[in-house]
């Protein structure tokens, strides 16, 4: 039996945050019914066409779900949602604050009508406060949470290269729902969860927040280097590839000089004899290292670093990561069906003994509408009328 088998999730979701959360639930066996607009559906379906014509974002976040198209502004659409919630365990949405209330599905009404229901909302800034109605895209949350101020080079502040605010909000929604399911098992009652992207990302910003808030000093933007350790970061090789490394203690520094640079005498140089001095004198140390590395291929540098037990990594491109030997060796890939054919997908990162995660197809817009309506008691004639009126 899968961990969440028998749990039904109804999701009014779009973009990344909520779809990412519900995909985690689907991976563990929950039935996720994704409500989409009649016609185009979730707008993330159209972000790009890179996965055999499908959006990369949508492919990532929407396997193993059932798609039901529904016009929630119509009386008939609202009636269908009520029928779904009668049998649901979880209701999750990432609409703008107040949107579900205007539709008649605010948390007060839902708690009275469905006391068993776990209700989860994801928004940019939360359901109250002066920023409540402010538009909240991932980049903007990264800016407001200070992430952009500490990321990049001294000259160029940068955002994270992935939708990190959406992802962390989705993960807190996922873990919050799991916690609420455990609580309901004891109390028999549902609850209300609220996650804001700003507050989710704020939790991840704890170190720099305390550093600046109590120290009075803003953390430096150091690119891929370190603010206090040297050598640490990227170094170029003969073939132009970047090799990243980090020296954490003096034992490693001695081995680095002997086995990697082949300059054992450098370990005794007072300019570099401890990390403090190496950091202060990095402008003198860097060219010494570069003179050695520029004569070696990246693979050869990595071999020397490995022999010296120095932490290192190659700067993979995304295509190189797609073919990473460690993922292949650990059998992390599966094939999943989609409307455009099979695509590769990574299994979830938590490996649980005796549990093979669900890796079911990505649905077409409205693919399961007829089936779900039949489950709710609608006959063929009633379903035809709903299609004609574009309710579904």
Domains defined for the chain, CATH in brackets: 8-204+325-388 (3.40.50.10540), 232-315 (3.30.1540.10)
d(CA 41, CA 278): 56
- For residue 1, pLDDT over 90 is answered with no
| pLDDT at position 227 | 77
Q: What is the mean pLDDT of the chain?
A: 94
> Which two tokens mark 200?
């989710």
Q: Whats the size of the chain, residue-wise?
A: 392
Residue 222 pLDDT class (50, 70, 90 cuts): confident
Q: Is the pLDDT of residue 304 over 80?
A: yes
β-strand partners of 14: none
Q: Note the pLDDT tens digit of each residue in 162-180.
A: 999 999 999 999 999 999 9
- Measured CA angle at 297 (ends 292, 301), to 5 deg: 65
Task: DSSP for 203-267, please give it.
Answer: HHTHHHHHHHHHH--PPPP-TTS-SS-SSEEEEE-TTS-EEEEE--SHHHHHHIIIIISS-GGGG
pLDDT above 90 as % of the chain: 90
pLDDT at 115: 95
pLDDT tens profile 63-112:
999 999 999 999 999 999 999 999 999 999 999 889 999 999 999 999 99
Nearest to 318 by CA among 18, 16, 14, 50: 50
Backbone angles phi, psi at 238, to 5 degrees: -60, -35
Which range (208-222, 270-284, 301-315) has the least confidence? 208-222
Residue 123: its H or E element: strand 118-123
């Amino acid at each position: 039996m899968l961990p969440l088998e028998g749990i039904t999730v109804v999701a009014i979701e779009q973009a990344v945050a909520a779809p990412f959360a519900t995909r985690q639930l689907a991976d563990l066996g929950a039935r996720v019914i994704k409500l989409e607009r009649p016609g185009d559906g979730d707008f993330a379906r159209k972000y790009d066409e890179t996965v055999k014509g499908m959006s990369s974002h949508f492919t990532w976040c929407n396997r193993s779900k059932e798609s039901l198209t529904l016009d929630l502004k119509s009386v008939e659409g609202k009636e269908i949602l009520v029928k779904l919630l009668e049998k649901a365990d979880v209701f999750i949405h990432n609409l703008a604050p107040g949107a579900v209330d205007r539709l008649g599905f605010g948390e007060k009404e839902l708690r009275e009508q469905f006391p068993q229901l776990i209700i989860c909302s994801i928004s940019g800034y939360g359901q109250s406060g002066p920023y409540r109605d402010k538009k909240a895209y991932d980049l903007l949350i990264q800016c407001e949470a200070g992430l952009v101020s500490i990321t990049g080079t001294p000259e160029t502040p940068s955002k994270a290269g992935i939708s990190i605010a959406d992802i962390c909000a989705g993960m807190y929604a996922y873990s919050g729902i799991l916690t609420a399911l455990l609580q309901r098992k004891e109390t028999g009652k549902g609850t209300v969860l609220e996650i804001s992207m700003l507050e989710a990302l704020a939790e991840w910003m704890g170190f720099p927040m305390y550093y600046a808030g109590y120290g009075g000093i803003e953390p430096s933007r150091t690119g891929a280097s370190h603010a206090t350790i040297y050598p640490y970061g990227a170094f170029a090789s003969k073939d132009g590839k970047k090799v990243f490394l980090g020296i954490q203690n003096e034992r490693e520094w001695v081995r680095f000089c002997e086995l990697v640079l082949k300059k054992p005498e450098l370990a005794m140089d007072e300019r570099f004899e401890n990390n403090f001095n190496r950091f202060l004198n990095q402008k003198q140390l860097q060219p010494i290292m570069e003179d050695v590395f520029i004569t070696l291929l990246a693979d050869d540098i990595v071999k020397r670093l490995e022999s010296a037990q120095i932490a290192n990594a190659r700067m993979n491109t995304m295509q190189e990561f797609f073919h990473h030997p460690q993922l292949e060796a650990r059998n992390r890939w599966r094939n999943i069906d989609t409307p455009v054919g099979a695509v590769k997908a990574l299994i979830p990162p938590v490996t649980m003994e005796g549990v093979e995660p669900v890796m079911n197809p990505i649905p077409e817009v409205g693919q399961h509408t007829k089936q779900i309506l039949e489950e709710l008691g609608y006959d063929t004639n009633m379903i035809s009328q709903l299609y004609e009126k574009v309710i579904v």
